């Protein structure tokens, strides 16, 4: 007896209901399409949850069902992000209200003594800060350089906000002379060291493929150290970010968002993710430039807060530390045809010049939130660039060779050793 069944019968109808992931399909491919093909019914199904949410929020706002359940009031949450000292007769505290309710500053103490003060930058009543509002508390107090200061803000409900100023020094302010000084510092600690490191280009071009891959791995090690260094610093700065902005989550969002943004951009420009060697060189320069931008922020803010002492040894330390970034920039283009010279100029400026821009930004408008975010962006860019370097090595050979692993370690340790010159 012939048990053969006609094709297109029950077996095909069962298969058509099975999704590729083992689930049951709710429709055919003909029922699916892009945004332009959704039609009125499709858009209605997409907007329905949004409309219902708006209605629900309106009900809760106009007639809250839990109006009589609340007990007490939320605790005040005010952060002193930092202090500036324009001269030895003035203290300026930069404050932010992180809480859900307005707070009013009623008294100020300096070294356990009540003192006059003026609040600037707030709303109609400067002393009262709305949620997420920031202001400056200016205190006319004569202080002695090097002697610690203890300040206390007293709020209307009796809560106190303490802030210590360790070994205060007068800030020079952002004058034309300071801007010029920051530009010179940026050239010496950013642009010149990267340019010197790029002079290794002819040497790297003469290397055999095995050693060329090792140079790429060494570059990845250099970038890996910069990522860890910026990441730890970002988390440290995040501790001073106003609580309402969730400093640590801001760092994670900045780093992860940059990884995904740069990866999507390279996939779009590279037609599926294949980045050219010159494109990878620019990505490396961008990652280093973002890190150096954050480095400039630190230098500029130190100027603004009167905390910088750029002696010759410190500048030399910066130069030795940053010169190792040059080979990382030129390594991707050291094989094959040499790019035009203007590309080398562009790569060097992209990697080194952000120190100048960061110095200016940090001097004028530094705050912990901005600093933590820029550091996080640098971390994300560097991580994505390291991924691209690894992909380039893997496409031309084996990634995890003994030579490549040791070269990565050498790059990491080299940056650590030169970083000690800056830390000291």
Instruction: List, for residues 237-273, the tens digit of each pLDDT value.
Output: 888 787 777 889 999 999 999 889 888 877 776 555 5
Q: Domain spans of the chain?
A: 78-165, 176-423
At 303, give phi and psi (nearest 5°).
-60, -45
- Could you give the angle at which helices 176-186 and 277-304 cross, rounded to 10 degrees? 140
Radius of gyration of the chain (CA): 29
- Secondary structure class of 292 (helix, strand, coil): helix
* Domain 78-165 part of CATH 2.60.40.1890: yes
Cross-strand partners of 165: 149
Residue 293, pLDDT > 90, answer: no
d(CA 186, CA 191): 7
Residue 106, pLDDT > 90, answer: yes
- Give the pLDDT of residue 279: 86
Higher per-residue pLDDT: 299 or 221: 221
Indicate the pLDDT class of residue 57, thresholds 50, 70 and 90: confident
d(CA 97, CA 82): 14
Q: Which burial class, exposed, middle or buried, applies to 158 when counting CB atoms under 10 A from its CB (0-12, 13-18, 19+)?
A: exposed
Global pTM?
A: 0.69
- Secondary structure class of 128 (helix, strand, coil): strand
Minimum mean pLDDT range among 228-232, 248-252, 322-326 = 322-326
Tokens representing 273 are 């993710």
- Give the pLDDT of residue 85: 85
Q: How many CB atoms lie within 10 A of CB 65?
A: 8
Tokens representing 136 are 């400056």
Instruction: Quote helix, strand, coil % in the chain, to nearest 5.
Output: 60, 10, 30
- Give the pLDDT of residue 10: 47
Q: What is the pLDDT of residues 333-366, one digit of tens each?
A: 988 889 999 999 999 999 999 989 988 887 776 6
Under 8 Å between Cβ of 84 and 171: yes
The share of the chain scoring above pLDDT 70, in percent, equals: 82
Torsion of CA 278, 279, 281, 283, to 10 degrees: 170
Q: How many CB atoms lie within 10 A of CB 421?
A: 15
In 127-208, which ranges are continuous DSSP H helix?
Answer: 176-186, 192-198, 201-205
b/e 113-128 (16+ beta carbons within 10 angstroms → b): eeeebebeebeeebbb
d(CA 269, CA 284): 16
Vertex 180, ends 175 and 181: CA angle to 5°?
A: 95
Indicate the pLDDT class of residue 179, thresholds 50, 70 and 90: confident
User: For the chain, what is the mean pLDDT?
Assistant: 82
Q: How many CB atoms lie within 10 A of CB 419?
A: 18
């Amino acid at each position: 007896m012939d048990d053969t069944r006609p094709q297109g019968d029950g077996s095909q109808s069962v298969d058509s209901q099975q999704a590729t992931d083992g689930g049951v399909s709710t429709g055919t491919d003909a029922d699916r399409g892009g945004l332009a093909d959704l039609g009125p019914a499709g858009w209605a199904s997409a907007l329905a949850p949004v409309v219902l949410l708006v209605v629900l929020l309106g009900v809760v706002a106009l007639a809250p069902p839990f109006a009589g359940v609340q007990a007490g009031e939320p605790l005040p949450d005010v952060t002193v992000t930092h202090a500036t000292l324009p001269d030895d007769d003035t203290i300026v505290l930069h404050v932010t209200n992180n809480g859900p309710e307005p707070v009013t500053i009623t008294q100020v103490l300096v070294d356990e003594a009540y003192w006059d003060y003026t609040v600037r930058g707030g709303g109609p009543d400067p002393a009262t800060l709305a949620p997420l509002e920031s202001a400056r508390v200016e205190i006319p107090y004569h202080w002695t350089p090097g002697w610690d200061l203890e300040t206390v803000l007293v709020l209307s409900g009796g809560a106190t906000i303490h802030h210590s100023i360790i070994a205060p020094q007068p800030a020079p302010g952002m004058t034309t002379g300071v801007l010029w000084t920051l530009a010179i510092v940026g050239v010496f600690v950013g642009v010149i060291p990267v340019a010197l490191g790029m002079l290794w280009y002819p040497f790297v071009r003469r290397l055999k493929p095995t050693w060329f891959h090792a140079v790429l791995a060494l570059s990845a090690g250099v970038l890996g150290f910069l990522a860890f260094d910026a990441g730890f610093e970002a988390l440290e700065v995040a501790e001073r970010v106003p609580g309402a902005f969730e400093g640590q989550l801001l760092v994670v969002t900045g780093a992860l968002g940059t990884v995904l943004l740069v990866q999507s951009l390279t996939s779009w420009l590279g037609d599926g993710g294949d980045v050219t060697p010159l494109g990878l060189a620019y990505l490396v320069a961008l990652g280093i430039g973002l890190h150096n931008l954050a480095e400039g922020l630190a230098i500029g803010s130190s100027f603004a807060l009167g905390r910088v002492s750029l002696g010759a040894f410190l500048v030399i330390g910066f130069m030795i530390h940053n010169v190792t970034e040059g080979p990382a920039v030129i390594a991707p283009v050291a094989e094959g045809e040499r790019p035009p010279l203007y590309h080398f100029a562009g790569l060097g400026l992209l990697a080194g010049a952000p120190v100048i821009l960061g110095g200016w930004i940090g001097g004028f408008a530094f705050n912990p939130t901005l600093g933590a975010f820029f550091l996080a962006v640098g971390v994300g860019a560097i991580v994505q660039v390291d991924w691209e370097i690894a992909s380039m090595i893997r496409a031309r050979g084996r990634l995890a060779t003994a030579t490549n692993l040791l070269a990565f370690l050498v790059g990491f340790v080299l940056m650590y050793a030169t970083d000690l010159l800056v830390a000291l």
